[in-house]
Amino acid sequence: MRFGERRERFRVVLGGDRCVHPGSVFDPISARIAEDLGFELGMFAGSVASMTVLGAPDLIVLTLSEFAAQAQRICRAGNLPLLVDADHGYGNALNVKRTVEELEAAGVAALSIEDTQLPRDFGADGKSRLIALEEGVGKMKAALAGRRDPSLVIAGRTSATAATGLEDTLARVKAYEAVGVDAIFLVGVRTRAELEAVSEAVKLPLIVGGVGPELMDLDYLSTTRTRVCLQGHQPFMAAVAAAHATLKALRDGTPPAEIAGIASGDLMKRVTRDADYRRWIKDFLGGT
């Protein structure tokens, strides 16, 4: 697997002058679809991983090994540069270092480490809480120390804009930039004024997620040095809805031949790379 080449392609996006939307993916088939449709990047979120692997909500009950294994399955299925949400690094700074090592080995092109207090503390009221700035800096240092391939992108992620305000956001992004992360990942920015303040405070490329409606404009985002803008994870939710509808129809007695919305045989052959396997059968098994 040419993981270095994918990482360089991700860096080309970060160093470019345009913002792109990544394709939200969750398994090998979805990653191949995104690649076939021309998405420059794929995004594998921690929340989607929890639902895909465990069928559980995003409550940080997924383990690093489970997350890395699914990321590896996605990466081996094609050549799409993959950005992953590594949450809080599955523990303290030492765990962060291990997280980077495992995800690099899995083949990801980029990952983010966030400064949210996770998992939820006993007695927590449900509101997002952040770790201390000093601990966040330690996690970013550990993430960089865990990286072996210098082309792997490490983004410092914070939701401080929504959790603690703009002043704290600026302090955090400046500190993470000083440590040496490759990008800043902002979650929950709602206004252009907030985004522009961050863009002016640091020189790094920006990645944004969970943004307000006024920010969903690629032309505008490109002017703020934002290079990746998440759109949410509708593909996984659509897949859940389709599976539910199909199983319900079958349970209710609809004949299989009358089920609507089924992938065509040609589409199934494309996403499973049937032509490759047919060629390998001929080359390696003497088949036709």
Which CATH number applies to 3-118+129-238? 3.20.20.60
- pLDDT attached to residue 282: 94
Helix (H, G, I), strand (E, B) or coil at 288: coil
CB-side exposure of 204: number of CA atoms within 13 Å? 26
Residues of the chain with pLDDT > 70, as a percent, come to 99
The pLDDT confidence band at residue 1, using thresholds 50, 70 and 90, is: low
Q: What is the mean pLDDT of residues 89-97?
A: 98
CA distance 278 to 288: 8
Pairing state of beta strands 82-85 and 110-114? parallel
Q: What is the average pLDDT score of the chain? A: 96
pLDDT tens for each residue of 154-200: 999 999 999 999 999 999 999 999 999 999 999 999 999 999 999 99
Predicted pLDDT of residue 270: 97
Average pLDDT over residues 114-141: 91
Per cent of the chain over pLDDT 90 is 94
End-to-end CA distance of the chain: 27
Token couple for 72: 């590896």
Q: Is pLDDT above 80 for 123?
A: no
The model's pLDDT over 230-256, given as tens digits with 9 standing for 90+, comes to: 999 999 999 999 999 999 999 999 999
CA 26, 54, 96 angle in degrees (round to 5)? 75
pLDDT at 2: 83
Q: What is the distance between the alpha carbons of residues 25 and 45, in angstroms, rounded to a whole number?
A: 8
More confident residue, 127 or 46: 46
Which residues lie closer than 8 Å to 113 by C-beta, 6 or more apart? 86, 87, 88, 89, 96, 99, 100, 139, 140, 143, 154, 155, 156, 157
Mean pLDDT of 56-60: 94
d(CA 139, CA 119): 16
Mean of pLDDT values over 199-227: 96
What is the pLDDT at residue 21?
98
CATH 3.20.20.60 range(s) for the chain read 3-118+129-238
pLDDT of residue 71: 98
Residue 124's pLDDT band, with cuts at 50, 70 and 90, is confident
CA distance 72 to 53: 13
Confidence (pLDDT) at 208: 98
State the Cα–Cα distance between residues 196 and 223, nearest whole angstrom. 9
Q: pTM of the entire structure?
A: 0.96
pLDDT for 213:
87
pLDDT-derived band at 147 (thresholds 50, 70, 90) equals very high
pLDDT in tens, 175-184: 999 999 999 9
Region 99-119 average pLDDT: 97
Cβ atoms of 111 and 154 closer than 8 Å:
yes
Predicted confidence band of residue 128 (pLDDT cuts 50, 70, 90) = confident
Give the residue-averaged pLDDT of 80-109: 98
Length of the chain: 288
Sheet with strand 206-209: strands edge to edge:
23-24, 42-44, 82-85, 110-114, 153-158, 183-187, 206-209, 226-229
Which is nearest to 142 in space by CA: 108, 115, 121? 115
- Tokens coding 172: 């955090």
Map tokens 């690099």 to a residue: 104
Note the pLDDT of residue 120.
85
